[in-house]
Structures are given as C-alpha cells and as structure tokens.
Amino acid sequence: MSYRGHKRHPLLAAVLFALLLPLAACGGQPDDQEPPALNPSSSPELRTFNPTPPVGDEPETTTIRQGQQRTIAGLNIAVLSTSGGEVRFSVNAGPGIDEEAPQNGGGSAGDTVDLDNGYAIAIDEVEDSAEGEAPGAGSGSVTLTITPPGD
C-alpha cells in the first residue's frame, strides 16, 4: 500500500474552507444592526509626555550632589564641583537658556546668581567633597533655591 497522506492535505483544506466561509461572512453581528460609523468630528485624546514640567512662580529648593544634575523650576542644573565651601554649577537647559552655550555660575553659601533669563539661584548650603577626591568625582552637594522671574 502506498502512502497517500500528502494528497489528503488539499482535500482537508478545501473542507475546512467550505465550513468556515459561511461563518466568516456573518461577521459576528446581527443582520439588523449596522456597524458603528466613524465620527470625523471627534478627535482621539492624545497623551503625550511633557519633558519640561510647568514652571510655577514660587521659589523651589533642592539639593544636588556633585556630578549630578536635576531639573527644577524649569532649569536643568548640573553641579560641577564642591570644594573649599564653594560650588560651581552649569545651567544647561530651560527657558531662555541656549543649550549650545550653557550659563555657568557659582559661589558660596549666602550668594545669589542672577541668570540672563531672569531666574535667581540662591546658594543655601555647600557640603564639600571629601579630601583627596578627584575633581568632578567628589561626594559633596549643594542646596539651591531657584526663583523664577517675576511677572
């Protein structure tokens, strides 16, 4: 007896097709119900991420470790160094900041840096890096209060 299994597959496919075709034509909806129409006047709600949080008019205070950066009051501030009671920082992005030419600032506790865009950055506290740490790799931090420009 010869093996005829290879000839049964087309026959099986034809039988299944014949049985499933009427079911596919029904579409799963009753005949008296129309499919829902598209409403061109309604627009879908688009959910997007805003990387720049809204900026309030109240001062905001934050502590940033040396070598870290944080966005606060709309400004992206990176702490470059903390030593000898002084801090050096860079404002890399934010309202009125040219990302190609960030604004640098620094000072010691009690100093205030006024940026060209009207923001004021008060240096509240500077914690020095430990002795002997490489520049830029220290463990120090700074507490800053950022005040947005007034109206």
Say whether pLDDT at 150 is over 60: yes
First to last CA, the chain: 96
3-state secondary structure of 124: strand
The pTM assigned to this predicted structure is 0.60
Domain residues of the chain, as ranges?
Answer: 60-147
Q: How many angstroms separate the CA atoms of 70 and 132, rounded?
A: 26
Say whether pLDDT at 24 is over 80: no
Say whether pLDDT at 23 is over 80: no
Per residue in 72-128, pLDDT (tens digit) is: 888 899 999 888 899 999 999 988 888 888 889 999 999 999 998 899 999 999 998
